[in-house]
């Protein structure tokens, strides 16, 4: 898996991963009509704005064929929590590539200077365990409206030391 900073040419692929990931990850959690109304074209317009925002980092994961299979997006922490310098806004990987190194997307953000972060995850999303396994501390909950339904979100605070890649020991 290759991790690199996203560019404008990546926008259609990021939009596709975004829509496809939402449809697979949130089926049964988010209303079906909301998921079916998602479109690549609408997401492309949103990602064009996001990629222009110089405060945000957007990274993509490519498979060995050069296909974008995932992305992550981070930037300044938005709630005013003084203990976290960044927020992980989104991290998605196509279902067939999950559990194959998504952590490397966050490691790249850490290399770029993210020392700690807050992330909001839908409470019913089983993937939230990812943050718990990596030492994320549950900070609280809030409700967000998606598809005219109020859904609970959980905030996790994560010290980026959990994502730092240790240098391999030299071979003698």
- 49 falls within a domain: yes
The C-alpha torsion from 77 through 34 and 127 to 20, rounded to 10°, is -100
Q: Kindly report the CATH number assigned to the domain that includes residue 11.
A: 3.40.630.30
Please report the pLDDT score of residue 151 as a whole number. Answer: 96
- Which helix (H) or strand (E) is 91 found in, with range? strand 86-93
Please report the pLDDT score of residue 130 as a whole number. Answer: 82
- 171 falls within a domain: no
Please report the pLDDT score of residue 162 as a whole number. Answer: 60
The three-state secondary structure class of 75 is: strand
- 172 falls within a domain: no
Please report the pLDDT score of residue 168 as a whole number. Answer: 38
Cβ(113)–Cβ(136) below 8 Å:
no
- Which helix (H) or strand (E) is 142 found in, with range? strand 137-146
Considering its fold, how many domains does the chain have in total?
1
Q: What domain range is 132 assigned to?
A: 2-163
Please report the pLDDT score of residue 166 as a whole number. Answer: 45
pLDDT in tens, the chain (172 residues): 788 899 999 999 999 999 999 999 999 999 999 999 999 999 999 998 888 877 788 889 998 899 999 998 988 888 888 888 888 898 898 888 776 666 667 776 767 767 788 899 999 998 888 888 877 899 999 999 999 999 999 999 888 666 554 443 333 3
Cβ(118)–Cβ(155) below 8 Å:
yes
Cβ(78)–Cβ(144) below 8 Å:
no
- 64 falls within a domain: yes
Tokens of 40: 């690549």
- 58 falls within a domain: yes
């Amino acid at each position: 898996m290759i991790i690199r900073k996203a560019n404008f040419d990546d926008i259609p692929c990021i939009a596709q991963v975004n829509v496809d990931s939402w449809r697979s990850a949130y089926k049964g959690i988010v209303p079906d009509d909301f998921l079916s109304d998602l479109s690549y074209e609408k997401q492309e317009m949103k990602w064009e704005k996001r990629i222009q925002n110089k405060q945000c980092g957007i990274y993509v994961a490519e498979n060995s064929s050069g296909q974008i299979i995932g992305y992550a997006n981070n930037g300044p922490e938005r709630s005013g929590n003084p203990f976290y310098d960044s927020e992980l806004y989104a991290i998605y990987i196509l279902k067939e590539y999950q559990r194959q190194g998504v952590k490397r997307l966050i490691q790249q953000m850490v290399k770029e200077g993210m020392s700690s972060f807050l992330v909001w995850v839908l409470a019913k999303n089983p993937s939230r365990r990812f943050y718990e396994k990596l030492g994320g501390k549950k900070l609280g909950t809030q409700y967000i409206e998606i598809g005219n339904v109020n859904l609970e979100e959980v905030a996790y605070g994560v010290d980026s030391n959990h994502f730092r890649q240790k240098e391999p020991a030299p071979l003698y």
